[in-house]
């Protein structure tokens, strides 16, 4: 009898169905010469310290370090698990062949090898290695079973990882708990967990200690295009003021226009970390939620194996691509252009050297009615798969150089010439953005411009979100935006794609970090724990990344398990000696840290400010902070309410906007730049909740009881009113496109020698210059 052992009952059921083992027994399926049984994840585990030596049960510094000569396993102490193990062992005793059908990865190999070892099975073993649970994939896998010995290095790597985690976790947790723990406080230390916490704490402290530095930017608006001073920002105000004054007195001239055509590639296929990052950013799913959804989709046969660390496909998948695309009938409008021509074979998609255990996550072609959250994840996986076979997006990148009074300025823009793969992700209901589109400039053209010289501040780095923390774990703390470079750094990341979500969840359970909306913040206990760990090795993301690289090398046969374990034992031995010699006792506990946590919650409530205000336009959502403006949280459903950070070339503070929302107006503010010059005034909302500048009445001698002269309507647009600037009259609706402007010099010429009374000026303006 052939015995197949899968990692879950649901997977065993699928395999049994394909093999014809249709008779359900207690703990397995039987039929057609096969028995298909299963584990529930880990049936076996490494022994506890007291299983090796009884006195190791006591948490005592004198018992450390605990370094077993040989590591052994045992069946987990659970009645259900022990019953299932007994069933498996009885089947193994009757087996002529065992087929390991565990998940095709390091953890799956370790789980089943430990069961085989614990059951003392000595017969032949073969390995089923598949990337999806479709009937075709299972049949193909059984037609190409591999000898188990081919995966020995994979098992050695998994065993080494488990031993390394035991050595550091068991010893360091007891060491720091006994040395520095307070009342009933366990201080959990882990090979991956502690460096991850250290990254969160270091970022938090860097933000707390950050002191913003002022700088100034010189820009000018010419033909509705914003040009920036080519040599960058000014660190001294006086350096920029000289140039700002200089350019005001000169026309703007276009010096050169350079246009380069280029290609933008489709986003890469998903690995697990990429999928978790995307779903956290776009849908707000935690890494753990995304992993659970992806695992469910895999078990429902609609996607391939999700616990992967590559975004490439092997060449043997290429012939199957047309068949998968044809089966995706729900996406027929997107796949139709591909089905009538040869599928492109891009090295950005197909690369055997970048594929190890598994390939990137792709749809299998099987479709199913899915719940909303599952459908969202399935949808983006499928669209990524379709998009990589579309043509590249063709763009024209334009760089325009200009000058005013020999001061150089630069503006850049991008125009999409051919959408290519972008068609796959287009939302027919979304408004098309044209933020980068430029007007047609001609070299040598000149004209008036509106320079601005704004003070700004350097910004602190952002707190980690789950998305950015996952990326930091992937690159061992290094900030890497480029996809190709990030691919090269994966071997030195900390943790594995399949365990990173669990590491983050563990930090929550240990009360070392908390969520603040999307932000991940350390608790006082988490901060203090990292502070008391003097040994840099324990909290070093780079060193943990090196350990991960060594484990990868064990898997590839380039490094030995014995060398890895020996080095871990030496490090633990040195750590114990070092910490025992410390004279400080921190007495850490969550209870002691609680008042600080309450205080930080109070501060949070006080500092919520503008983001706690309800949108005045739709009254359905609170405000969000974007890159250039505050806006309504209901923007996806059509609310277009915004409060720009800069209005009329003036930076508006959060407090002023808060006053506007609560009291209907800001206070009088200076230095608004209008088409007529610099103006002082206050901001209100118009009937559509757009910002409106209301100039200050500067006539202080007018009695309060006197009736104010009505505002003169703009003779051009008939919507705004006439404003008086420093050098000219203009329209209050200039922000919405009205370019009515009458310089004072023109008015003086018309008035000739007449006294420029308000009535005469108004009469001349009405004539419509």
Q: Which residues contact 579 (CB under 8 A, 6 or more apart)?
A: 175, 176, 179, 534, 535
Q: What is d(CA 549, CA 428) in angstroms, rounded to the nearest whole number?
A: 45
How confident is residue 608, by pLDDT bands cut at 50, 70 and 90?
A: low
- Of 387 and 653, the structure prediction assigns the larger pLDDT to 387
In this predicted structure, the answer to whether residue 280 has a pLDDT above a threshold of 80 is yes
> Which of the listed residues 423, 457, 491 is the one where a domain comes to its end?
457
Whether 612 maps to a domain, the answer reads no
Whether 638 maps to a domain, the answer reads yes
pLDDT at 337: 92
Q: Active site residue: 28, 305, 378, 657, which one? A: 305
Same domain, 561 and 710: no
Query: Mean pLDDT, to the nearest integer, of 233-254?
Result: 90
Whether 195 maps to a domain, the answer reads yes
How confident is residue 756, by pLDDT bands cut at 50, 70 and 90?
A: low
Query: Mean pLDDT, to the nearest integer, of 11-20?
Result: 95
Domain of residue 585 covers 161-210+461-596
Question: What's the full length of the chain, in residues?
Answer: 769
> Which of the listed residues 387, 411, 436 is the one where a domain comes to its end?
387
In this predicted structure, the answer to whether residue 668 has a pLDDT above a threshold of 50 is yes
Query: Mean pLDDT, to the nearest integer, of 217-224?
Result: 92
In this predicted structure, the answer to whether residue 766 has a pLDDT above a threshold of 80 is no
Q: How many CB atoms lie within 10 A of CB 106?
A: 26
Q: What is d(CA 50, CA 46) in angstroms, rounded to the nearest whole number?
A: 12
Percent of all residues in the chain with a pLDDT value above 70, rounded to a whole number: 90
Same domain, 69 and 126: yes
C-alpha triplet 532, 538, 544: angle, nearest 5°: 150
- Of 735 and 530, the structure prediction assigns the larger pLDDT to 530
In tens, the pLDDT along 472-527 reads: 888 775 654 555 544 544 556 788 888 889 999 999 999 999 999 889 999 999 99
> Which of the listed residues 387, 406, 436 is the one where a domain comes to its end?
387
Same domain, 330 and 415: no
Query: Mean pLDDT, to the nearest integer, of 311-319?
Result: 92
- Best CA proximity match to 91, nearest among 128, 37, 44: 37
Same domain, 250 and 325: no
pLDDT at 492: 62
Same domain, 253 and 311: no
In tens, the pLDDT along 342-352 reads: 998 999 999 98
> Which H or E element spans position 38?
strand 34-38
Q: What is the CATH number of the domain that holds 324?
A: 1.10.290.10
Q: What is d(CA 82, CA 96) in angstroms, rounded to the nearest whole number?
A: 23
Whether 181 maps to a domain, the answer reads yes
Query: Mean pLDDT, to the nearest integer, of 264-286?
Result: 93
pLDDT at 529: 93
In this predicted structure, the answer to whether residue 730 has a pLDDT above a threshold of 90 is no
Whether 617 maps to a domain, the answer reads no
Same domain, 381 and 503: no
Angle between helices 372-387 and 287-299 (to 10 degrees): 80
Whether 611 maps to a domain, the answer reads no
Q: Which residues contact 95 (CB under 8 A, 6 or more apart)?
A: 1, 2, 3, 35, 121, 123
Q: What is the CATH number of the domain that holds 233?
A: 2.70.20.10
Same domain, 168 and 89: no
In this predicted structure, the answer to whether residue 87 has a pLDDT above a threshold of 60 is yes
Same domain, 444 and 489: no
How confident is residue 53, by pLDDT bands cut at 50, 70 and 90?
A: very high
In tens, the pLDDT along 111-131 reads: 999 999 999 999 999 999 998
Whether 23 maps to a domain, the answer reads yes
In this predicted structure, the answer to whether residue 55 has a pLDDT above a threshold of 90 is yes
Same domain, 251 and 351: no
Q: What is d(CA 665, CA 663) in angstroms, rounded to the nearest whole number?
A: 6
> Strands, E, within 173-279: which ranges?
214-222, 225-229, 252-264
The average confidence (pLDDT) of the chain is 86
pLDDT at 757: 64
How confident is residue 357, by pLDDT bands cut at 50, 70 and 90?
A: confident
pLDDT at 43: 93
Q: Which residues contact 476 (CB under 8 A, 6 or more apart)?
A: 489, 492, 493, 494, 541, 542, 544, 545
pLDDT at 595: 41
pLDDT at 767: 67
- Of 383 and 436, the structure prediction assigns the larger pLDDT to 383
Burial class of 277 by CB neighbour count within 10 A (0 to 12, 13 to 18, 19+): buried
How confident is residue 31, by pLDDT bands cut at 50, 70 and 90?
A: very high
Same domain, 127 and 93: yes
pLDDT at 598: 35
Same domain, 683 and 731: yes
In this predicted structure, the answer to whether residue 21 has a pLDDT above a threshold of 90 is yes
pLDDT at 679: 85
Q: What is the CATH number of the domain that holds 180?
A: 1.10.460.10
How confident is residue 271, by pLDDT bands cut at 50, 70 and 90?
A: very high
In tens, the pLDDT along 550-599 reads: 988 999 999 999 999 999 999 999 999 999 988 877 777 765 555 444 33
Percent of all residues in the chain with a pLDDT value above 90, rounded to a whole number: 55
Query: Mean pLDDT, to the nearest integer, of 152-157?
Result: 95
Give the number of domains in the chain: 5
Whether 484 maps to a domain, the answer reads yes
Q: Which residues contact 300 (CB under 8 A, 6 or more apart)?
A: 368, 370
Burial class of 315 by CB neighbour count within 10 A (0 to 12, 13 to 18, 19+): exposed
Helices (H), 307-371: 321-327, 332-339
Question: pTM for the complete prediction?
Answer: 0.69
Query: Mean pLDDT, to the nearest integer, of 719-729?
Result: 75
In this predicted structure, the answer to whether residue 684 has a pLDDT above a threshold of 80 is yes
C-alpha triplet 30, 33, 34: angle, nearest 5°: 50
Q: What is the CATH number of the domain that holds 20?
A: 3.40.50.140
pLDDT at 669: 87
pLDDT at 685: 83
In this predicted structure, the answer to whether residue 274 has a pLDDT above a threshold of 50 is yes
pLDDT at 711: 67
How confident is residue 740, by pLDDT bands cut at 50, 70 and 90?
A: confident
Same domain, 71 and 117: yes
C-alpha triplet 499, 504, 505: angle, nearest 5°: 95
390 a catalytic residue: no
């Amino acid at each position: 009898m052939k015995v197949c052992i899968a990692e879950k009952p649901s997977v065993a059921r699928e395999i049994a169905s394909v093999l014809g083992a249709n008779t359900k027994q207690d703990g397995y399926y039987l039929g057609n010469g096969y028995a298909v049984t299963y584990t529930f994840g880990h049936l076996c585990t490494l022994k506890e310290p007291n299983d090796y030596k009884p006195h190791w049960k006591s948490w005592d510094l004198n018992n450390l370090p605990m370094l077993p000569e040989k590591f052994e396993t045992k069946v987990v102490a659970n009645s259900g698990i022990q019953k299932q193990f007994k069933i498996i062992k009885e089947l193994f005793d009757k087996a002529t062949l065992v087929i390991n059908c565990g998940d095709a990865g390091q953890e799956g190999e370790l789980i089943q090898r430990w069961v085989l070892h614990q059951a003392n099975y000595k017969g032949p073993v073969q390995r089923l290695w598949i990337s999806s649970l479709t009937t075709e994939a299972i049949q193909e896998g059984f037609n190409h079973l591999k000898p188990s010995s081919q995966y020995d290095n994979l098992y050695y790597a998994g065993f080494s990882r488990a031993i390394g985690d035991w050595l550091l976790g068991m010893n360091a947790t007891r060491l720091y708990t006994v040395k520095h723990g307070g009342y009933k406080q366990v201080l959990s230390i882990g090979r991956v967990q502690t460096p991850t916490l250290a990254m969160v704490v270091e970022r938090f402290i860097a933000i707390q200690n950050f002191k913003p530095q002022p700088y100034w930017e010189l820009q000018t608006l010419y033909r509705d295009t914003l040009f920036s001073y080519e040599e960058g920002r000014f660190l001294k105000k006086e350096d920029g003021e000289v140039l700002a004054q200089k350019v005001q007195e000169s026309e703007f001239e276009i010096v050169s226009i350079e246009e380069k055509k280029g290609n933008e590639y489709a986003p890469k296929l998903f690995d697990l970390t990429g999928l978790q990052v995307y779903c956290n950013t776009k849908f707000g799913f935690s890494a753990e939620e995304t992993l659970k959804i992806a695992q469910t989709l895999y078990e429902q046969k609609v996607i391939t194996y999700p616990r992967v660390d590559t975004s490439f496909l092997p060449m043997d998948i290429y012939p199957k691509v047309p068949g998968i695309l044809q089966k995706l009938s729900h996406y027929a409008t997107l796949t139709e252009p591909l089905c009538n021509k040869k599928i492109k074979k891009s090295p950005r998609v197909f690369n055997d050297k970048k594929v190890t255990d598994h390939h990137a996550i792709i749809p299998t072609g099987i479709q199913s009615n899915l719940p909303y959250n599952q459908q969202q994840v399935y949808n983006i996986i499928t669209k990524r798969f379709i998009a990589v076979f579309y043509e590249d997006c063709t763009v024209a990148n334009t760089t325009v150089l200009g000058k005013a009074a020999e001061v150089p300025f630069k503006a850049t823009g991008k125009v999409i010439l051919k959408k290519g793969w972008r068609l796959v992700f287009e939302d027919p209901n979304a408004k098309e953005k044209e933020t980068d589109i430029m007007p047609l400039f001609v070299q040598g053209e000149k004209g008036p411009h509106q320079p601005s010289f704004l003070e700004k501040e350097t910004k602190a780095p952002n707190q980690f979100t789950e998305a950015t923390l996952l990326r930091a774990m992937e690159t061992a703390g290094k900030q890497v935006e480029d996809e190709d470079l990030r691919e090269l750094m994966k071997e030195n990341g900390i943790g594995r794609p399949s365990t990173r979500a669990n590491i983050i969840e563990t930090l929550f359970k240990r009360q070392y970090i908390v969520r603040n909306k999307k932000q991940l913040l350390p608790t006082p206990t988490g901060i203090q724990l990292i502070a008391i760990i003097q040994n840099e090795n324990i909290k070093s993301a780079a060193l943990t990344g090196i350990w991960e690289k060594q484990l990868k090398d064990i898997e590839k046969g380039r490094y030995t398990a014995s060398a890895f374990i020996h080095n871990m034992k030496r490090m633990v031995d040195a750590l114990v000696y070092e910490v025992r010699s410390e004279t400080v006792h921190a007495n850490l506990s969550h209870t002691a840290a609680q008042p600080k946590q309450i205080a930080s919650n109070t501060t949070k409530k006080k500092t919520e400010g503008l983001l706690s205000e309800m949108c005045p336009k739709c009254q359905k959502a609170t405000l969000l902070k974007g890159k250039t403006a505050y806006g309504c949280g209901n923007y996806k459903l059509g609310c277009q309410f915004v409060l720009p950070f800069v209005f009329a070339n003036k930076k508006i503070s959060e407090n002023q906007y808060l006053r506007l929302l609560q009291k209907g107006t800001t206070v009088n503010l200076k230095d608004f730049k209008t088409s007529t010059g610099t103006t002082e005034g206050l901001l209100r909302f118009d009937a559509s909740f757009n910002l409106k500048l209301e100039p200050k009445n500067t006539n202080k001698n007018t009695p309060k009881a006197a009736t104010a002269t009505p505002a003169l309507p703009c003779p051009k647009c008939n919507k705004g009113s006439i404003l008086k600037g420093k050098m000219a009259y203009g329209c209050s609706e200039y922000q919405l496109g009205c370019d009515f402007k009458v310089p004072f010099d023109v008015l003086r010429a018309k008035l000739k020698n007449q006294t420029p009374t308000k009535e005469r000026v108004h009469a001349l303006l009405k004539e419509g210059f």
